[in-house]
Amino acid sequence: MLHLSRRTRIDLRNGLLFISPWLVGLIVFTIYPIFASIYFSFTDYTVLRPPRWVGLQNYIALFTEDVLFPKSLGNTLYYAAFALPLGMIGSVGLALLLNKKLLGMSVYRTVFYLPNILPTVAMSVLWIWLFNPNYGLFNSILQQLGLPGVPWLTSPKWSKPSLIIMSLWGIGGSMVIYLAGLQDIPEHLYEAAELDGANSWQKTWHVTLPMLTPTIFFNLVMGLIGVFSYFTQAFIMTNGGPVDSTLFYMLYLYRNAFVYFKMGYASAMAWILFIIVVSLTALVFKSSGRWVYYGGALT
Amino acid sequence: MAVRSLEASGAEALPRRGLREILAGKKARRYIDHGLSHLVLLITGFLFFLPFYWLVSTSVKPNDELFLLPPKWIPSRLVWENFPRAWNYIPFALYFKNTLYICAFNVVATIISCTLTAYGFSRIRWPGRDFLFMVLIATMMVPYQVTLVPTFLIFKWIGWVGSFKPLTWPAFTGTPFFIFLLRQFYMTIPLELSESAKIDGASELRIFLQIMVPLTRPAMATVALFTFLWNWNDFLGPLIYLSRQEQFTISLGLRGFLTRFGAQWELLMAGTTITVLPIVVLFFLTQRTFIQGITLTGIKG
């Protein structure tokens, strides 16, 4: 036993008592599940019978036999490749416009932000109706403009672009974060740039955007984790179809775990996802030295 | 560095023009700039608003005006009966009650567990504290997919699947993100305050309840608001753990509505409006806490 002073011992006891709610959670809901999940991923486990050790079988099957696994990974990467950059450009752009402190800014901010807090299910139900090929909002507008309708969610070619368009309705959340980032940029930088004769475009390009890169970086990392969790919209709106064109990673994982009860297989999928997310995040971190500007430390 | 590179390009242009000219030009450019910004914002704002309009207008449309081409932008009469009809089509009242129960439980339990834990991590100095705090930060990086299956199996073994318990009781173990947030707040409160209370013989629990809790109400409001919002909007949790109709949350109920009465759009949209309304009202009532919360934490809804 360590020799701690009476005071330290009391503090240790109190400290542990105060954090005990989280400590219990750490053991039960984090540490145990992590190890259990690693173990399950090497087993064949259908809940009804005890897990049976199969070694690397699940991993091998995922990469060699299962056609839906690469499909779901590809769908997710497709979605990420468009939804992330488009969302980023859109939210940074809106934040830059709102930062000009124009008249009616709080109204605009509310309109842009509100979709972001709606229940995902409600939003999905609404967008099924908007995407309705015959009487939905979008095809009605296209028709009134004399343009041909788009099959949206009903065609494998359009289903993913449709969901990407829908995701743009939710960029208000990142917009508010960017707006906060913009308001942290010290005024004297703009004054200095103005003294040097910079116009507003040059100020945006050479002052605002470099100063905003830490926020962009943060949102990018969060976005990467987010796209791999993309589930509810696809589950409600298309349930993976048509012809598996919207079978996203998490949707396929969910099916394996809770529809087919292949718990071992689903656990292997979870670990592959973990490795992908960690590598992508590491890649972003590694590249950040080149494009993230930490001049903000001056403030 | 970026600023310095501009010196060369702009500096020599200045002396050639008169001051008044420059100011007038600047003002004109400002007008154009603001005008263009307003234009872009108006168009984008209109596009963002359209789905809301379509939602509400469909929910008050008479059934025979839903399927018209070109669409009827403004319903010829407002059919408010769609709301009570939707409300009674599925047991909405019950779903509301279930959802509110889950939300309220989570808010209370999360506040209790997170404030206590945050206090232990910030106001008491004990060996091993900083290490465990690092562990807490690390757990935030673990994607929920990894723990999903074993967590489900735990609840299955103890027979909780099919009840509200897996959706409520875990809240007593805290949310790392909120613990982190509250800890940041507690750190800003001068330690002397606790020290003097300790000299007066106050226990840690008393300092926590009588000093820290009253001083950090805004942070607690943020935690409460986002806990409520997340639970109100959660779908995967209820989907996995609840199976009986009478336990459904609003999200599950609305999905059931969709799969069973898919083509009755006026009722579906009325139901969706009913689902969305509490969140919209909550947003307008707590707008400042909301925006502050996102700004503070970088969390989205």
B232/A111 Cβ within 8 A: no
> Looking at chain B, which residue has its C-alpha nearest residue A202?
B6
| Alpha-carbon distance B195 to nearest alpha carbon in chain A (angstroms) | 13
Q: What distance in Å separates residue A64's CA from the closest CA in chain B?
A: 22
Residue of B nearest to A171 (CA): B300
Look at B6 and A202 and tell me if their CB atoms are within 8 Å. yes
Closest-CA distance of chain A to residue B216, Å: 17
Residue B12 has pLDDT above 60, yes or no: no
Q: How far is CA B81 from CA A75, B85, B89, B255, B260, in A?
A: 42, 6, 12, 21, 20
Residue A17 maps to a domain: no
Residue B188 has pLDDT above 90, yes or no: no
CA dihedral B43, B44, B50, B52 (to 10 degrees): -140
pLDDT of B4: 41
Give the per-residue pLDDT at A246. 96
Substitution target in A118, A191, A259 with the highest count of B β-carbons within 10 Å is A118
Between residues A4 and A107, which one has the greater pLDDT?
A107
Average pLDDT for B34-54: 92
Secondary structure (3-state) at A44: strand
Nearest chain A residue to B22 by CA distance is A197
| A258-298 pLDDT per residue, tens | 999 999 999 999 999 999 999 998 998 898 888 888 764 44
Q: Cβ(A240)–Cβ(A249) under 8 Å?
A: no
Q: Tell the residue number behind the tokens 């984790």, with chain if given.
A: A225
The sign one gets for the Cα dihedral B58, B64, B66, B72 is negative
Local confidence band at B98 (pLDDT 50, 70, 90 cut-offs): very high
Selected residue with higher pLDDT from B226 and B263? B226
Q: Is the pLDDT of residue A146 over 70?
A: yes
Residues of B in Cβ contact (< 8 Å) with A19: 116-117, 120-121, 132
Using CA atoms, how far apart are residues A271 and A279, in angstroms rounded to an integer?
A: 12
Pair B67, B263: CB distance under 8 Å: no
Average pLDDT over residues B211-217: 90
**What is the number of CB-based contacts under 8 A between chain A and chain B?**
288
List % helix, strand, coil for chain B (3-state, nearest 5). Answer: 75, 0, 25
Task: Tell me the residue range of the domain where A257 lies.
Answer: 64-298
A96 within a domain of the structure (yes/no): yes
Does residue A173 carry a pLDDT above 80?
Answer: yes
Q: Measuring CA to CA, which residue among A6, A80, A67 is closest to residue A228?
A: A80
Most confident of A96-100, B34-38, B46-50: B46-50
Residues 6 or more apart whose Cβ sits within 8 Å of residue A96: A182, A204, A208
Q: Considering only residues B262 and A22, tell me which one the structure prediction assigns the higher pLDDT.
A: A22
Nearest residue to A108 (alpha-carbon basis) of B41, B111, B102, B12: B41
CB neighbourhood size of B259 (10 A): 9
Give residue A85's pLDDT band: very low, low, confident or very high (50, 70, 90): very high
Q: Distance (Å, rounded) from C-alpha B150 to C-alpha A28?
A: 10
Domains contained in chain A, number: 1
CA B163 to chain A, closest CA, distance in angstroms equals: 17
> What confidence score (pLDDT) does residue A200 get?
81
Q: What is the DSSP string of B75-117?
A: -SS--TTHHHHHHHHTTHHHHHHHHHHHHHHHHHHHHHHHHHH
Residue A124 lies in a domain: yes
In a domain, A73, yes or no: yes
End-to-end CA distance of chain B: 36
Assigned domain for A291 exists = yes
A246 in Cβ contact with A128 (< 8 Å): no
If you ran DSSP here, which 8-state letter would residue B170 be given? G
Report the gap between the CA of B174 and the closest CA in chain A (Å). 6
Torsion over CA: A153, A157, A160, A161 (sign): negative
Token code pair at residue B253: 């109920």
pLDDT at B17: 60
- CB-nearest partner of A196 from B10, B52, B265: B10
What tens digit of pLDDT does each residue of A234-256 get?
999 999 989 999 999 999 999 99
Q: Residue B11 pLDDT > 70, yes or no?
A: no
Residue A27 lies inside a defined structural domain of this protein: no
Q: Which residue of B has its CA nearest to A119?
A: B233
Most distant CA pair in chain A, distance:
84
User: Which residues from B are below 8 Å from A94, CB to CB?
Assistant: 41, 44
Please give the mean pLDDT across all residues of chain B.
Answer: 86
Contacts of B112 in chain A (CB under 8 A): 21
Q: What pLDDT is recorded for position B297?
A: 62
Q: Determine, for residues B6 and A196 on separate chains, whether the beta-carbon distance falls below 8 Å.
A: yes
Over its C-alpha atoms, chain A yields an Rg (Å, rounded) of 24
Q: How many CB atoms lie within 10 A of CB A211?
A: 22
ipTM of the complex: 0.89
Residue B255 has its nearest CB partner, among A8, A97, A236, at A236
d(CA A256, CA A249) in angstroms, rounded, equals: 11
Classify residue B158 by burial, with Cβ atoms within 10 Å: 0-12, 13-18, 19+: exposed
Q: Which domains does chain B have, with CATH numbers?
A: 90-260 (1.10.3720.10)
CATH number, domain at A270?
Answer: 1.10.3720.10
Query: Do A18 and B120 count as a contact with CB atoms less than 8 A apart?
Result: yes
Quick one: pLDDT at residue B299? 55
Residue B296 confidence (pLDDT): 67
Q: Which of A180, A264, A282 is nearest to A225 (CA)?
A: A282
Question: Does residue A35 lie in a domain region?
Answer: no
Q: Which residues from chain A sit within 8 angstroms of residue B66, using beta carbons?
A: 135
Write the residue in A33, A108, A197 that is nearest to B150 by C-beta.
A33
**Span A207-218, mean pLDDT?**
90
pLDDT band for position A198 (cuts 50, 70, 90): confident
pLDDT over 90, % of chain B: 53
| pLDDT tens for each residue of B263-299 | 788 899 999 999 999 999 998 888 877 777 766 665 5
Residue B28: is its pLDDT beyond 50? Answer: yes
B40, B265, B295 member nearest A180 (Cβ): B295
The beta-carbon neighbor of B49 closest among A111, A128, A174 is: A111
Return the higher-pLDDT residue of A198 and A121: A121
Q: Is residue A16 included in any domain, yes or no?
A: no
Tell me: pLDDT of B123 over 50.
yes
Mark yes or no for CB contact B45/A112 under 8 Å.
yes
- Taking the CA atoms of chain B, what radius of gyration do you get in angstroms? 27
